[in-house]
């Protein structure tokens, strides 16, 4: 084939590219005078979509409920939720788009801590109001960020003492290899040691790994009393069927993300996900125990009859949107500075799983925590719960106080600021409603 070059084709090409770039990027409707756009950044496809889709649906449900009640400030709410495709770079790109181009008054979302940290600089640069609605490793002390998901003070500080009391002192941790996995492991280690136990093994696994034979061999060699899997994403959930076929039978497991986030108890055959303990703010089965949860579950399943589950993060997302709406009503405007003020004042809300209150010092949520447990047949029961657990390591130990000192940091446990329990935690039995 003859190789020729023509400046004409170049000229044509440039014009095309310019036109495309100029006409492009105009996919969302600008907020008109009769609608309010709210932004959501969740993974609707890719490795993290199992959870991302649930959060996306929860947001849609929240918007429906708000619009059915007359909207906000007389306007309808419109959910702008582009798919971040489980990709940190897309997360950033779409965050920029929502903040700079669409100028939404609030953004909800991000699943992994990596995603959150990828967009927090943009959030802070533009002083965007942002809700992080996933359970995570704690520590975010940011004037612009409010978190409704559970934190280690609520999940690790409750779980480890309970497990050690019942099962023994030797703990093995296998965690996803990124900041969430590392920091939550630090918490597990600190609480274990403070409770008189020991970490007999610790392993970090990349998010794309789906082959666990060598990990399983190492776990068995260490002979732990308790296994703490902190595994995230579709690929890593392959651990459970592999564990079921070659692991130790009935070894109790504890986690902050398994079952309550990725509903492994429905996806894998027993005994892959049997005997797992998870302290959580909400899971679908809570509907059998708490009337307000039942209402939420029924409404969700009515709108999304084909959805396999409603996890803790979906409920956090719903709570966040509802709380923001409350704050907007109180402020009388969607102006971000004013709404932030109201939120930071300590707003409270009756969520499907109990009362949720924003702690003014840390912008984190005080909530009730239920201990979920999967039986041999992988049915769910709730042995105990803890009421109104404070997320106050951040304020008591790390010194975060957003009421007096604006901040944009994530604090992590160090030698000077060790991870520790900062409050009395009393487990109370869970009574089934109507029994």
* Window 50 to 69, contacts with other proteins (CB under 8 A): 50, 53
- Kindly state the number of chain residues that form the binding site for other proteins, as judged by CB under 8 A: 87
How far is C-alpha 239 from the geometric centre of its chain's CA atoms? 21
- The nearer residue to other proteins, 5 or 302, going by C-beta atoms, is 5
Q: 271: cis peptide before it, omega within 30°?
A: yes
What's the closest the beta carbon of residue 113 comes to other proteins, in angstroms? 7
Task: Please list, residue by residue across 360-381, b when 16 or more beta carbons sit within 10 angstroms of its beta carbon and e when fewer do.
Answer: ebbbbbbbbbbbbbbeeebebe
**Could you give the CA distance from residue 122 to residue 389 in angstroms, rounded to a whole number?**
31
* Degrees, nearest 5: CA angle 215-230-196: 90
CB neighbours of residue 346 within 10 Å: 13
* Degrees, nearest 5: CA angle 283-289-292: 75
Contacting residue, 40, 59, 77, 97, with other proteins by CB under 8 A: 97
217 binds other proteins (CB under 8 A): yes
- The nearer residue to other proteins, 221 or 428, going by C-beta atoms, is 221
**Could you give the CA distance from residue 64 to residue 78 in angstroms, rounded to a whole number?**
9
Contacting residue, 65, 71, 75, 85, with other proteins by CB under 8 A: 85
**Could you give the CA distance from residue 420 to residue 429 in angstroms, rounded to a whole number?**
24
- The nearer residue to other proteins, 248 or 431, going by C-beta atoms, is 248
What's the closest the beta carbon of residue 428 comes to other proteins, in angstroms? 34
Query: According to CB under 8 A, which residues from 391 to 430 bind other proteins?
Result: none
**Could you give the CA distance from residue 364 to residue 368 in angstroms, rounded to a whole number?**
13
Contacting residue, 59, 66, 94, 219, with other proteins by CB under 8 A: 94
Contacting residue, 34, 165, 166, 206, with other proteins by CB under 8 A: 206
Dihedral sign (CA 252, 256, 258, 263): positive
- The nearer residue to other proteins, 93 or 355, going by C-beta atoms, is 93
Q: For 346, how many CA atoms within 13 A lie in the half-sphere containing its CB?
A: 5
Stretch that binds other proteins, among 33-41, 48-56, 57-65, 365-373 (CB under 8 A): 48-56
Stretch that binds other proteins, among 93-101, 276-284, 336-344, 387-395 (CB under 8 A): 93-101
**Could you give the CA distance from residue 23 to residue 45 in angstroms, rounded to a whole number?**
26
Contacting residue, 67, 71, 79, 93, with other proteins by CB under 8 A: 93
What's the closest the beta carbon of residue 111 comes to other proteins, in angstroms? 13
Here the tokens at position 78 are 């419109």
- Give the E-state strand segments of 46-181 in sequence order: 76-80, 107-109, 130-132, 140-142, 145-147, 170-176
Stretch that binds other proteins, among 193-201, 204-212, 290-298, 347-355 (CB under 8 A): 204-212
What's the closest the beta carbon of residue 388 comes to other proteins, in angstroms? 32
Query: According to CB under 8 A, which residues from 4 to 33 bind other proteins?
Result: 4-18, 20-22, 24-25, 27-28
What's the closest the beta carbon of residue 54 comes to other proteins, in angstroms? 11
DSSP 174-195: EEESSHHHHHHHHHHHHHHHHT
Print the binding letters for residues 221-260 with other proteins: x by CB under 8 A, - otherwise: x------------xx-xx--xx-xxx--------------
Query: According to CB under 8 A, which residues from 171 to 190 bind other proteins?
Result: 177-179, 181-182
Contacting residue, 32, 208, 223, 350, with other proteins by CB under 8 A: 208
């Amino acid at each position: 084939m003859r190789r020729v070059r023509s400046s004409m084709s170049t000229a044509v090409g440039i014009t095309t590219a310019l036109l495309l770039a100029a006409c492009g990027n105009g996919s969302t409707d600008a907020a008109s005078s009769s609608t309010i756009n709210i932004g959501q950044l969740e993974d609707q496809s890719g490795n993290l979509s199992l959870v991302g889709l649930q959060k996306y649906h929860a947001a849609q449900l929240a918007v429906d409920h708000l619009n059915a009640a007359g909207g906000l400030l007389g306007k309808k709410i419109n959910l702008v939720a582009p798919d971040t495709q489980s990709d940190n770079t897309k997360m950033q790109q779409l965050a920029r788009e929502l903040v700079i181009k669409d100028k939404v008054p609030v953004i909800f979302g991000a699943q992994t801590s990596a995603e959150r940290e990828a967009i927090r600089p943009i959030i802070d640069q533009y002083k965007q109001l942002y809700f992080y609605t996933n359970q995570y490793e704690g520590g975010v002390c940011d004037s612009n960020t409010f978190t409704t998901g559970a934190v280690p003070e609520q999940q690790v500080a409750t779980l480890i003492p309970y497990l050690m009391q019942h099962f023994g002192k030797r703990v093995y941790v296998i965690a996803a290899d990124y900041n969430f996995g590392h920091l939550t492991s630090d918490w597990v280690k600190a609480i274990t040691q403070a409770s008189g136990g020991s970490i007999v093994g610790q392993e970090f696994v990349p998010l794309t790994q789906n082959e666990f034979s060598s990990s399983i061999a190492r776990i068995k060699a260490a002979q732990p009393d308790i296994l703490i899997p902190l595994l995230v994403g579709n690929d890593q959930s392959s651990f459970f069927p592999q564990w079921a076929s070659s692991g130790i039978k009935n070894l109790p497991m504890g986690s902050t993300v398994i079952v309550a986030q990725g509903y492994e108890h429905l996806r894998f055959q027993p005994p892959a996900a049997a005997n797992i303990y998870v302290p959580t703010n909400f899971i679908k089965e809570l509907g059998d125990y708490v009337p307000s949860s039942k209402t939420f579950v029924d409404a969700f399943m009515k709108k999304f009859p084909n959805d396999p589950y409603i996890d803790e993060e979906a409920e956090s997302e719903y709570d966040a949107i509802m709380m923001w709406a409350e704050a907007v009503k109180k402020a009388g405007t969607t102006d971000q500075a004013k709404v932030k003020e109201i939120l930071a004042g300590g707003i409270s809300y009756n969520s499907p799983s109990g009362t949720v209150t924003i702690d003014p010092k840390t912008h984190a949520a005080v909530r009730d925590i239920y201990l979920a447990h999967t039986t041999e047949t992988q049915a769910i029961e709730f042995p105990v719960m803890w009421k109104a657990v404070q997320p106050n390591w951040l304020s008591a130990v790390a010194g975060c106080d957003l009421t007096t000192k604006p901040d944009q940091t994530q604090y992590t446990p160090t030698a000077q600021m060790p991870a520790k329990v900062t409050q009395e935690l009393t487990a109370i039995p869970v009574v089934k409603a109507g029994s």
